[in-house]
Structure 1
Amino acid sequence: MEHLEHRKKVLIMIAIMSAMLFAALNQTIVGTALPKIISEIGGMDYYSWVFTIFMLTSSVTAILVGKLSDMYGRKPFILLGIGVFMIGSFLNGLSASIIQLIIFRGIQGFGAGMIMSTAFTAVGDLFSPRERGKWQGLMSSVFGLASVFGPTLGGWIVDNADWHWVFWVFLPVGFIAFGMIYKMFPSQEPNRGLKVDYLGSIMLTLTIIPLLLAFTWGGNDYEWVSLQIIGLLTTSVVALILFIITEKRASNPVLPLQLFKNKIFTLSNIIGFILGAGMFGAIMYMPFFIQGVMGTSATKSGLVMMPMTLSMVFASTIGGQIITKTGKYKFLALIGLFIMSAGMILLSFMDTDTTNARALLNIIIVGTGLGLSFPVFTLTVQNAVQHKFLGVATAATQLFRQIGGTIGVAIMGTVMNSSMTSKMTEKMSSVKDSPLLSDPETAGVMKQLQDPQNIMNGGKLKELQSTLPQEFQGIYASILEGVRESLSYALTNVFFIGAMILLVGFVLTFFMKEIPLRMSNKDVTEEEKETELKEASNH
């Protein structure tokens, strides 16, 4: 497909990016709309499952479809993905209960996994590795734009229209993308001689799902040493062993183990895992600081976080152009990871006196580093593997990044909770024996005040304060200040650990060989590969 007319390639890419934007916006728009949806259909106890089910179905589908698209071509799967996602979106808008919403979000996840897996792989079909840099950068920026506009639009819809339109408003974009891809995307001849690795697919699914669930629930819904978490991790390990045994015997493995013999593939995915941990750590815990420590409202918090996303979009786009122009990518990965690490270290120095301007500058630095490094490691993997493995290799990079983000957020969450508990014990020692706290009702209010979720909610704080008589206002202010200082201390540790994790990725990048970006999708011979490696070593 790389020999298609350039204008047709550009139109196909516009269609693919439209499909990605359709999926990404539907994912980001839900966050701000969900509280209103839950207030109408109920089911607060199952709130987190609306996000968890999407993550599970999209992650598993992406890696399985990666292999299937290598066998049967990208077109049927990206069309199927758009179709399934649109059906899921339409059904979500009809949800009458939280269980229905969760089921339909799972359907959306299946579609999203197909779209994301085939979209990034399609770039590899349409363009040579040398040309892919700018397109990978543009596609990465789609997620950034969705992160900027999705939450804002979701909030506007639930405030001014029926919440059902949160899921329906972008359906026309899906229809347009489907039509353009159906008409312009070339069909590929399927390789019917290969068998689908059903057993390997089952074992891989049984490895991924319990692992993601364990790190999603651990430290939140269940203790890390609970029977549920240990059971999930044990299931994942056993399934992984069976998966490896299965793949060694399979004639057409769903995730060929031979790919891991490729040092560039393996190292790129390890760094991608680390990058995912750092990226999701910053995205998840920065709002805690802005709202909980600095006392900024949720609306203004979104405005403070927006420059991080915009800087990521800008850096990703510029970085992609530089890669295509120079053919070099390793230096961008190093610069990006270093800048992102520096930004996380700066975040770790923030405290209760930090201004919005300083927080803004720090997260712009993080976003810039993320934008420069984010697209690189998909490109390095695609450039290092044979074209017949393009789909499964690309999907593997997405899976490792997702797992890295899930595990990273879980570890940082545990660090935050333990650090905050120890600091709170120290801070509250001066007021715990106060006679004012002997009243059960007052003590209950003060306990609620020590919950980080409550101090991020300005309305909740005012509600708690209004329930206390005047003589309790002094101790209220003292406890609130202690909670904010404890949260600041805990987040300092979180950001510092995130910086150390990213610095490991920075160091590992030095060991990754930079082979020239090929000017064609034609697979190189072993002799040509040896020559490329020698040239890379000389440089």
Structure 2
Amino acid sequence: MGDAALLPPAMFRRPLFAVSNAVNTVVGMGVFGGLSLLPMHLQIVKGLSPGAAGLMLLPQTLGIIAGGRLCGPVVIRTGRHKGFLLLGLACMTGCALAFSRLSPDTSLWTTGLVTAVMGLGIGVCFQVMLLAIQASAPPGAMGAASASYTFFRQIGGTAGTAVYLSVLFALTGDRVADALHDAERTPEFGAALRDPAVADTPAARRLLSALRDGTAPDLDDSSFLDRLDPRLARPVLEGLSGALDTVFLIVTGVLATGLVLALFLKDARTTKDTKGKAA
């Protein structure tokens, strides 16, 4: 179809369009794929309800709004995308690295602060990438350019979610089993096992059965952890947290890749035409 295609191939010969959408895809992998795991940490590792875990993502939403509102007018006025995009990506990469250090002992205040800063970086990146993609398109292809922004971001998010969940499910069993094996040698865990009031419960028997088999308990339904003595639940939470930390390290690498790609971005200088297209 040539130029009549829904996404004209000629647009990819424009460096600003091609690089922006490459970064857009990578950012989609990091944002939608990686942050889909944060509620899992909040609900299982920290023991929050689904509603409370959702509220913990509110700082991220506020950060996204603030980041877009602050940088958008400046980028439109100056036509300089690269510096803001690098700043946003650096912010996101650092926050993803901070997420990889989360543990059962990490306070909710710390998690909320990192989430807010991550949202600020996301807001800057999303706004700058959209403006860069629009600025790179001829007037007749503005609709296709704007649609490509969502298209490539969703592709990245879908691929990222599939990859990260696969890695998480592959790691969790071994990490939890190893944590339980190490916990057997601790006095706190042993004391809990010797206490009949603790060990003779359905949740504890489920855990002990897995311990005897040298495997991790079935975590498809993790609600039994709420009924388990904290001393027995601790190694399960640590194992799951360790698996999540590894996934967030992968997210950090993905976002760092986006940061490198953004170095090849060329600014669209301030011109009347650029302002009109960005608007």
Category of TM-score, reference length = shorter chain: 0.7 to 0.9
Match of 1:265 among 12, 17, 20: 17
Q: Which has the larger radius of gyration?
A: 1
1:396-428 C-alpha deviation (Å, 9 max, x unpaired): 121110000010111111121122122123234
> How many matched pairs?
257
**Alignment-derived partner of residue 379 in structure 1:** 131
**Which deviates more, 484-493 or 295-304?**
295-304
Deviation at 1:443, TM superposition (A): 4.0
**Alignment-derived partner of residue 45 in structure 1:** none
Matched, 1:315 2:82: no
1:114-171 C-alpha deviation (Å, 9 max, x unpaired): xxxxxxxxxxxxxxxxxxxxxxxxxxxxxxxxxxxxxxxxxxxxxxxxxxxxxxxxxx
Alignment of 1:460-471 (within 5 A): 461-462=225-226, 465=227
Match of 2:146 among 391, 394, 408: 394
Match of 2:161 among 401, 404, 409: 409
Deviation at 1:450, TM superposition (A): 3.6
1:38-59 C-alpha deviation (Å, 9 max, x unpaired): xxxxxxxxxxxxxxxxxxxxxx
Tell me the TM-score normalized by structure 2. 0.81
Matched, 1:369 2:121: yes
Output the CA distance in 2 between the equivalents of 1:264 and 1:327: 12
Matched, 1:516 2:269: yes
Output the CA distance in 2 between the equivalents of 1:388 and 1:347: 42
Matched, 1:454 2:221: yes
State the SS of the aligned residue for 1:351: coil
Q: Which runs of 5+ in 1 are unaligned?
A: 1-246, 466-472, 525-539
Output the CA distance in 2 between the equivalents of 1:523 and 1:325: 10
For the Cα contact (< 8 Å) 2:65–2:123, is it kept in 1? yes
Output the CA distance in 2 between the equivalents of 1:522 and 1:308: 29
Alignment of 1:432-451 (within 5 A): 442-443=205-206, 450-451=217-218
**Alignment-derived partner of residue 293 in structure 1:** 45
Match of 2:259 among 496, 506, 529: 506
TM-align CA RMSD:
3.0
State the SS of the aligned residue for 1:374: helix
Cα gap change, 1:445/1:337 in structure 2, threshold over 3 Å: closer, same or farther?
A: same
Output the CA distance in 2 between the equivalents of 1:331 and 1:341: 15
Matching residue's letter, 2:107: T
Matching residue's letter, 2:146: T
**Alignment-derived partner of residue 335 in structure 1:** 87
Output the CA distance in 2 between the equivalents of 1:361 and 1:285: 17
Output the CA distance in 2 between the equivalents of 1:357 and 1:272: 30
Match of 1:480 among 215, 230, 233: 233
For the Cα contact (< 8 Å) 1:387–1:523, is it kept in 2? no
Matching residue's letter, 1:289: H
Deviation at 1:345, TM superposition (A): 0.6
Cα gap change, 1:262/1:326 in structure 2, threshold over 3 Å: closer, same or farther?
A: closer
Tell me the TM-score normalized by structure 1. 0.44
Deviation at 1:365, TM superposition (A): 1.4
Output the CA distance in 1 between the equivalents of 2:136 and 2:124: 20
By relative contact order (CA 8 Å, sep 6+), the higher-ranking structure is: 2
Alignment of 1:113-124 (within 5 A): none
Output the CA distance in 1 between the equivalents of 2:96 and 2:114: 8
Q: Which runs of 5+ in 2 are unaligned?
A: 185-192, 194-198, 211-215
Alignment of 1:176-215 (within 5 A): none
Matched, 1:493 2:260: no
Cα gap change, 1:414/1:372 in structure 2, threshold over 3 Å: closer, same or farther?
A: same
